[in-house]
């Protein structure tokens, strides 16, 4: 593991944030990763070919790194409702999303309900 989770890495809990606000935040973070993609693609990755991305949980000041290959990232981005988060349920918003894939390096979450509509509306690729 290149980094360890410690309690200080946990984003502050925001119990009053509504699902729509969370979806907005996550869409902002998705754009940040979209901007990173060109950079990550330009780097010659050796073995293993894994690039650093940002956790896309609904906490704007969360900047936990998550590691995905370009292919893995593209697979997540292909679905406007999917976001990538740190593999830790403290980064999960159970009221607005559900986990669709779990790996050691990252989890993929799918927006549900109102949050899904916001996420689709704000998809930079649609």
Closer to Zn ion by CB, 8 or 44: give it: 8
Least separation in angstroms between CB 48 and Zn ion: 23
| Selected range binding Zn ion among 19-27, 31-39, 68-76, 89-97, rule: CB under 5 A | 89-97
For the chain, the farthest-separated pair of C-alpha atoms sits apart, in whole angstroms, at 43
Cα pseudo-dihedral 50, 53, 57, 59, rounded to 10? 150
Dig out the tokens for 88 from the structure.
Answer: 């830790």
For the segment 3-62, give every residue that binds Zn ion (CB under 5 A): 55, 57, 62
If one asks whether residue 91 binds Zn ion (CB under 5 A), the answer comes out as: yes
CB atoms within 10 A of CB 40: 17
Q: Residue numbers of the site for Zn ion (CB under 5 A)?
A: 55, 57, 62, 64, 86, 91
């Amino acid at each position: 593991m290149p980094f360890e989770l410690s309690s200080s890495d946990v984003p502050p809990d925001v119990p009053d944030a509504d699902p729509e606000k969370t979806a907005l935040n996550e869409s902002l973070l998705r754009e940040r990763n979209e901007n990173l993609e060109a950079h990550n693609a330009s780097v010659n990755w050796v073995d293993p070919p894994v690039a650093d991305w940002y956790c896309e949980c609904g906490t704007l000041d969360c900047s936990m790194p998550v590691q995905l290959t370009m292919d893995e990232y593209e697979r997540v981005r292909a679905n406007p409702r999917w976001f990538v988060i740190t593999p830790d349920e403290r980064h999960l918003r159970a009221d607005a999303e559900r986990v669709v894939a779990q790996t050691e390096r990252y989890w993929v979450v799918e927006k549900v309900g109102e949050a899904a509509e916001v996420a689709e509306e704000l998809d930079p690729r649609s």
